[in-house]
Amino acid sequence: MDLLNRVKDAGVIGAGGAGFPTHAKLAAKAEYILLNGAECEPLLRVDQQLMAEFSEEIIKGLEAAGQYIEARKAVIGIKGKHKAIVKLLREKITALGLEDYMEVMELRDIYPAGDEQVLVYELTKRVVPEASIPLKVGCVVINSETALNIFNALSGKPVTETYLTLAGDIPNRLTVKVPVGMPIRELLRQCGLENGDDYAVIDGGPMMGSLLDGIDGYVTKKSKGFILLKKDHFLIRKKSVNINQGRVISKTACEQCRMCTDLCPRYLLGHDMQPHKVMRALSYDLKDLKELQIAQLCCECNACELFSCPANLHPKTVNIFYKQKLAEQGIRYQPTQVEFQPRSAREYRLIPSKRLVAKIGLTLFDKPAPLTTIQFKPEYLEIGLRQHIGAPSQPIVNLGQHVEAGQMIGKIPENSLGAPVHASMAGTVVEIKDNSIVVKVG
Ligand code: SF4
Ligand code: SF4
């Protein structure tokens, strides 16, 4: 079986957040394969520790994927502040005889260094065109944990676990390997947090993660971390605002200072993403579709909403509002040019991570979250059928059936983009829901 089919069978998806099926990403030829090890979300500590702990496996996974897509060069992007890991990776690359093929490049400590398009520019000086993907400029980007999962897939090991950081206003911050499907409530309890309900929980990083409704959900292959904060923390108040509220608040108070635009990472790459124009269209109820369509260029990094706007408004939320409206009408942004150059002011307008952490009230919690081994013992696992971009997996097990750890329980529907799902522990299928399969462990 070739690499693509092994990766497909193992259910590997982008572990960096979006969950795009990796076999679909690798079904192309590209000049560069880039490893996204930027981990620019404050407080998350997964990628940096995986690159230290599993450097050889990650390098081999990246190399195998790079050779498969016939990339002439593989580049690992990691923040230069992780000096020891940078050194370790370079030593391993040399020890494996890969120094002519692979290099480590040090990224600046800025937000969002891990945005795929920012990363491509920082590592190759190529700008991904508006509304396009890195492949357009000869690059395929995979995340560090994805490279590790590719390595595992080559020896037949499916994705049944994910690494995530528990951080925020809690006594013990830590990073752990968790079985996919683990109930979040149990995860918190087995990590020593009996009072999980007392916190507001962000699923993912503090910038792009969304506020959970409660802790009754379960871990997916995409889970990267849970940030626990007091319910009156600035970030929680801000993330509690829904699209309609954000729209109404923004409509009344935008002063058109254009700070949101001037610091927008996509605008700085030369794209036409100008959130202040979208805000203007909202405030004055403008119907100019061109002004509204630029909302589709937003990567939802949240920099404008949580860092740039002096009036504490919601430009990203307004972008999402218009994105939804445009999608309903079937309108897609059409770029007006093919090649893009970063704006000349970009170098002076990058957002330093330390400033960002201070601005969003996380300096006190910006601490290590060491990789810790915990033998999780959930009673039940709820394994999502839609953990990825594309069609949900189709159950291939029956009620009452015993499943082994690593057994495929949901397959990709015929002729669809998707990823299979596997049981992360042995047990019995006790419920098959629309979006998940529940396994009683044991
Ligand atoms: S930064 Fe805030 S106030 Fe200024 S233009 Fe943007 S949304 Fe309006
Ligand atoms: S969230 Fe704001 S800063 Fe980020 S890309 Fe969208 S408009 Fe730009």
Ligand that comes closest to the CA of residue 250:
1
Best of 316, 322, 351 for a ligand 2 pocket test (most atoms within 8 Å of beta carbon): 316
Q: Is 315 in the pocket of ligand 2 (CB under 6 A)?
A: yes
Which atom, in ligand 1's list, is nearest to the CA of 258? 5
Which atom, in ligand 1's list, is nearest to the CA of 261? 6
Residue-range domain boundaries for the chain: 3-154, 161-233+361-378, 239-348, 379-442
pLDDT at 92 over 80: yes
Q: Is 313 in the pocket of ligand 1 (CB under 6 A)?
A: yes
CA of residue 267 to ligand 2 center, whole Å: 8
CA of residue 410 to ligand 1 center, whole Å: 46
Higher pLDDT pick, 287 / 353: 353
pLDDT at 285 over 80: no
Protein residue with its CA nearest to atom 6 in ligand 2: 298
pLDDT at 290 over 70: no
pLDDT tens-digit readout, 139-196: 999 999 999 999 999 999 999 999 999 999 999 999 999 999 999 999 999 999 988 8
Q: Is 264 in the pocket of ligand 1 (CB under 6 A)?
A: no
Q: Is 259 in the pocket of ligand 1 (CB under 6 A)?
A: yes
pLDDT at 62 over 80: yes
Q: Is 319 in the pocket of ligand 1 (CB under 6 A)?
A: no
CATH number attached to the domain at 3-154: 3.40.50.11540
Ligand that comes closest to the CA of residue 351:
2
- pLDDT for position 344: 97
CA of residue 304 to ligand 1 center, whole Å: 8
Ligand that comes closest to the CA of residue 297:
2
Protein residue with its CA nearest to atom 8 in ligand 1: 254
The region of weakest confidence among 251-265, 277-291, 324-338 is 277-291
pLDDT tens-digit readout, 378-414: 999 999 999 999 999 999 999 999 999 999 999 999 9
Q: Is 311 in the pocket of ligand 1 (CB under 6 A)?
A: yes
CA of residue 277 to ligand 1 center, whole Å: 9
Q: Under CATH, what is the fold of the domain 379-442?
A: OB fold (Dihydrolipoamide Acetyltransferase, E2P) (2.40.50)
pLDDT at 29 over 80: yes
Protein residue with its CA nearest to atom 5 in ligand 2: 298
Protein residue with its CA nearest to atom 4 in ligand 1: 257
Share of the chain above pLDDT 70, in %: 99
Which atom, in ligand 2's list, is nearest to the CA of 308? 3
Ligand that comes closest to the CA of residue 313:
1
Q: Is 318 in the pocket of ligand 2 (CB under 6 A)?
A: no
Q: Is 383 in the pocket of ligand 2 (CB under 6 A)?
A: no
CA of residue 8 to ligand 1 center, whole Å: 44
Domain 161-233+361-378, classified CATH 1.20.1510, yes or no: no
Protein residue with its CA nearest to atom 1 in ligand 1: 309
- pLDDT for position 330: 87
Question: Distance (Å, rounded) from C-alpha 145 to C-alpha 321?
Answer: 32
Q: Is 296 in the pocket of ligand 2 (CB under 6 A)?
A: no
